[in-house]
Amino acid sequence: MTPLVCIQDLRVAFGGVPVLRGVDVTLQKGEALGLVGESGSGKSVTWLAALGLLPRHANVSGSVRLDGREILGARAAELDQVRGGRVAMIFQDPASALNPVLTIRKQLCEALALHRDLSGEAVKAEALRLLNLVGIPDAARRLSAYPHEFSGGQVQRIMIAMALAGNPDLLIADEPTTALDATIQAQILELLSTIRREMSMAMVLISHDLGVVAENCDRVAVMYAGRIVEQAPANQLFADPVHPYAQGLIGALPPLDGPRRRLTAIPGTVPDPAHMPSGCAFAPRCSLAAEPCGLAAPTLAPIADDRTVACIRAEASRRALLGIAAE
């Protein structure tokens, strides 16, 4: 089956400094993929590059296929159809994505007019349907309100309504709830997963919160220093992370005594993209690193059905996780 999105060897450099160093990700139709990794690892840039949203000075190469069709470097008109149409994005700070001087009706109707072949009255009816769908109370009246008249959670709901205007096959949600308090965060995530199920829509959820990813995603890709280092079904990754970085992130290495920890701090910091170590970028922070790790960057290799890991010490790492002594 042709995947909905297939990204291969995606590379991005700014001013000659590489920030994506060969990203490979595949997303099936209707699937929810979580993308996790420390700040600066390239999670947002991956999707901005895929959708042609990076500034002109970015140097981008590789392949991004949507339903088998190459969109990297596509003409602006084609990308305009993809963005907001087949693929929609929502961000951490929804207020900045709305125009403060236009009513919600006007903004929703504009989004609908751009991507849907609807007549004037049908556009208005659809705007109302979308606002109801995302749970804005008294939607008919609130269509005439301006963005500042809504709470932070409601603004994010409106952004979701705008994102749905084009009936997307894929929603990219980049830290969609980080700016919201915990209760509202849970409600927005619940809304996203209901809508996703009902519309059979795929989703990429970029998040620092591993709990959120565990609860809302089918599969997870772990990014480190501009590359994917492990991809696996969510339940497998959280129960049995293999890459030492994924283990560190999830904190699944059981301590000698006491309960399992959810999160552990990984010693050291993410390398500066301008001074990447040769070989595996994680090696300087990795307790399992051996001499060959510094020689060549490992590529993603399958370790099981639907699981890939980029680590030449994957086997040692798994043994360490399971507490099995090396033979």
Q: How far is the CB of 80 from ligand ATP (least distance, A)?
A: 21
- String marking each residue 73-92 x if it binds ligand ATP according to CB under 6 A: --------------------
Interaction between residue 14 and ligand ATP (CB under 6 A): yes
Stretch that binds ligand ATP, among 32-40, 106-114, 181-189, 307-315 (CB under 6 A): 32-40
Q: Which of 45, 50, 60, 217 binds ligand ATP (CB under 6 A)?
A: 45
Please say which residue, 17 or 301, places its beta carbon nearer to ligand ATP: 17
Please say which residue, 199 or 276, places its beta carbon nearer to ligand ATP: 276
Interaction between residue 56 and ligand ATP (CB under 6 A): no
Please say which residue, 136 or 250, places its beta carbon nearer to ligand ATP: 250
Strands 227-233 vs 219-224: parallel, antiparallel or unpaired = antiparallel
Cα–Cα distance, 227 to 175 (Å, whole number):
19
**Edge-first strand listing for the sheet containing 58-66:** 17-27, 5-14, 58-66, 69-70
Please say which residue, 53 or 128, places its beta carbon nearer to ligand ATP: 53
Cα–Cα distance, 105 to 303 (Å, whole number):
50
Q: Which of 1, 16, 39, 327 binds ligand ATP (CB under 6 A)?
A: 39
- DSSP designation for 111: H
Give the interface size with ligand ATP as a residue count (CB under 6 A).
12
Interaction between residue 19 and ligand ATP (CB under 6 A): yes
50 Cβ contact partners less than 8 Å away, ≥ 6 residues apart: 5, 7, 10, 64, 71, 72
Q: Which of 271, 273, 279, 298 binds ligand ATP (CB under 6 A)?
A: 273
Cα–Cα distance, 108 to 150 (Å, whole number):
15
Please say which residue, 36 or 242, places its beta carbon nearer to ligand ATP: 36
Interaction between residue 21 and ligand ATP (CB under 6 A): no
Please say which residue, 42 or 147, places its beta carbon nearer to ligand ATP: 42
- DSSP designation for 180: S
Q: Write the CA distances from 320 to 140, 182, 243, 308, integer angstroms.
A: 58, 35, 11, 18
Interaction between residue 41 and ligand ATP (CB under 6 A): yes
Count Cβ atoms below 10 Å from residue 325 Cβ, excluding itself: 6
Cα–Cα distance, 324 to 140 (Å, whole number):
62
Contact criterion met (CB below 8 Å) for 8 and 66: no
Interaction between residue 207 and ligand ATP (CB under 6 A): no
Q: And the tokens for 113?
A: 């007019």
Interaction between residue 37 and ligand ATP (CB under 6 A): yes
CA 285 to chain centre: 24
Binding site for ligand ATP (CB under 6 A): 14, 19, 37, 39-45, 55, 273
